Structure 1
Amino acid sequence: MGTRLADAKFSCDINPYGVLYNPLSISAALREIILGKVYGKEDLFFFRDCWHSPMHHGDFSSLSADETLKKINERIARAHEWIFRSDCLLLTFGTSWVYEQKNTGRIVGNCHKLPGKEFILRRLTVDEIVSDYTSLLSGLLARNSGLKVILTVSPIRHARDGMHANQLSKATLLLAIDRLQAAFQESVFYFPAYELILDELRDYRFYAEDMVHPSDMAVQYVWERFSSACFSEETLQIIEESENIRRGLAHKPFHPDSEEYKRFLGQIVLKIDRLNGKYPYLDFQKERELCHIRLKI
């Protein structure tokens, strides 16, 4: 969904820690972003020839501690600039099962394949999640009163926990979100991605081959329902025109040096100019550069 929002020319910052699954790791990341935390080597650990952060996805890991810290700190600094000027915060809770480090008592965002004996696996309670987010959201809204928070529950099944344990996990998340909505009625909203996949589509045709992740068709369905629920008619028109430009640039010509293709690219540039004339805040820099490269300007 984040990629689709970016493709639709929304100004957004997507997963500054990489993908996180449980609510407390997400809230811990948000608190670090708010504070502008600067990571040091003491925040990392070395395992299987790489330096890792227990809070970050493996995309941030590398052979060098300095390189890992550089990627992490640059990303947090960028997210810190965004957090207080954002209009909307979208959070997806995936599971209420967490891995708690035995030696620190800290819930990790990523185990990085450390031995299971180093962790306690437990399920968060509704009260834990509600208490944590009541504190987090109260602080955020005090500094950005116009912020709208959209919470969702991921329809991805965490099958490794067992299907019954997965259902208990999702139920915990749904109950916690319901209580947060009641506590922050003007600012916190729920989008039913979980229910759309499980209750409206209700068919394994809408899952990928692993029978766990939604298929491309299901993702498109959720995107369309999200768009119709959250976007104005004018916004939907902008998205459609932006998508037409993106599809045009994705087209592979038979003769890229032909005059016909150059005229085609020229029409795309004109479309970008018209949209930017009406909505100057839309960022088409990459598309312009690509057109110019192909036109050899």
Structure 2
Amino acid sequence: MKLQTKIHLNKELNQIDYNSHLFFLGSCFSELIGGKFEHFKFQSSQNPFGIFFHPLAIENLIERAINKLVYSEKDIFFYNERWHCFDAHSDLSDVTKEQLLQKLNAGLEATSNQIKKASHIVITLGTSWVYRKAEIDKIVSNCHKLPQKTFEKEILSTEIVSNCINSCIRKIQTINKDVQVIFTVSPVRHLKDGFVENQRSKAHLIAAIHQVIHQDNVSYFPSYEIMMDELRDYRFYKTDMIHPNELAVDYIWERFKNTWISDTEYPIMDKVEAVQRDLKHRPFNPNSEQHKKFQKTLEKKITYLQETYSFMLF
């Protein structure tokens, strides 16, 4: 009996292995998948400016990082006793403008360095809806909880999103022509926009991405489609009925792993997982001989991995 409609995925070219350098940009789902790579100790980095939801925010970051357009006091503002920047997530906001500027410019440098050395860049788009700060006529990356009346809400057309994605690819290729760029659409539904409005938004993103993936070293991974079709059951959602739960994230991760990670790396991933599991072990008696033996065995496992992969830190 068939109880699931499954999306057929083949192994992609330019497979990921432990020599790969991965860079993740975009929505919170990008951070969930990026977190999986961090767990398995791949060489990876994610979102130096925090979570971004729409493509123009990602394009702006890439452009500023590559062209070294540093931030100054004119790019930040004070609100609710903290300094903010419309180009960055509120995670970077700070009580002093000096600290904020330091974070912003350090983030630009980190972004530039990651793009230069990346073998794979994974960009997750969340929405086509954007907010324009009317006073300065600027589409912002984050509203920082300013009054809604100070913004105008609009949806990016498929053409604008397509041009934005193409621009991101071209800018990236100016400093790293061989990088593999993987686009995906977040399975998180933005229902605050409305049910119909969310579908319009996702449709614009998907249509735009498929206008550009015919290029060399540009691919699409169907995170959104897997969630909507293979996992079309509320048992795969958190209690808010919007965000994928841990089981759903693990499932999509397995699909990504089987599509993009080289089979030759699976035994190493199993060894890393064994170490991660042992590190979580909490003994009843830390001074017992049994626990001391356990610790020595764990140290040997870590040393074995680090002899070949010196970048692995546990």
TM-score after normalising by structure 1: 0.91
Matched, 1:283 2:312: yes
Equivalent residue letter for 2:292: K
The C-alpha deviation readout for 1:84-121, integer Å capped at 9, x for no partner, is 11101000000000001112221111001111121110
Q: How does 1:251-262 map to 2 (within 5 A)?
A: 251-262=281-292
What does residue 292 of structure 1 align with?
Answer: none
Higher relative contact order (CA 8 A, sep 6+): 2
Cα distance in 2 between the residues matched to 1:66 and 1:80: 21
Equivalent residue letter for 2:302: I
What does residue 267 of structure 1 align with?
Answer: 297
Q: Residues 55 and 110 of structure 1 are in contact (CA less than 8 Å); yes or no, is this contact kept in structure 2? A: yes
Partner-residue secondary structure (3-state), 2:140: coil
* Aligned partner (choices 93, 107, 119) of residue 75 of structure 1: 107
**1:74–1:139 distance in 2 versus 1, CA, 3 Å:** closer
* Aligned partner (choices 162, 177, 195) of residue 209 of structure 2: 177
Q: How does 1:1-297 map to 2 (within 5 A)?
A: 1-182=33-214, 184=215, 186-277=216-307, 279-284=308-313, 287=314
What does residue 17 of structure 2 align with?
Answer: none
Cα distance in 1 between the residues matched to 2:172 and 2:60: 13
Query: Cα offset for 1:281?
Result: 4.3
Cα distance in 2 between the residues matched to 1:110 and 1:157: 18
**1:33–1:259 distance in 2 versus 1, CA, 3 Å:** farther
Cα distance in 1 between the residues matched to 2:174 and 2:81: 43
Equivalent residue letter for 1:213: H
Q: Residues 116 and 176 of structure 2 are in contact (CA less than 8 Å); yes or no, is this contact kept in structure 1? A: yes
Partner-residue secondary structure (3-state), 1:89: strand
Cα distance in 2 between the residues matched to 1:126 and 1:104: 25
Q: Residues 59 and 167 of structure 2 are in contact (CA less than 8 Å); yes or no, is this contact kept in structure 1? A: no
| Dislocated runs of 4+, deviation >3 Å | none
Query: Cα offset for 1:223?
Result: 0.6
Cα distance in 1 between the residues matched to 2:109 and 2:83: 20
More helix by share: 1
Unaligned runs of 5+ in 1: 288-297
**1:265–1:79 distance in 2 versus 1, CA, 3 Å:** farther
Give the stretch that moved more between structures: 171-180 or 101-110: 101-110
Q: Residues 121 and 182 of structure 2 are in contact (CA less than 8 Å); yes or no, is this contact kept in structure 1? A: yes
Partner-residue secondary structure (3-state), 2:270: helix
Unaligned runs of 5+ in 2: 1-32
What does residue 290 of structure 1 align with?
Answer: none
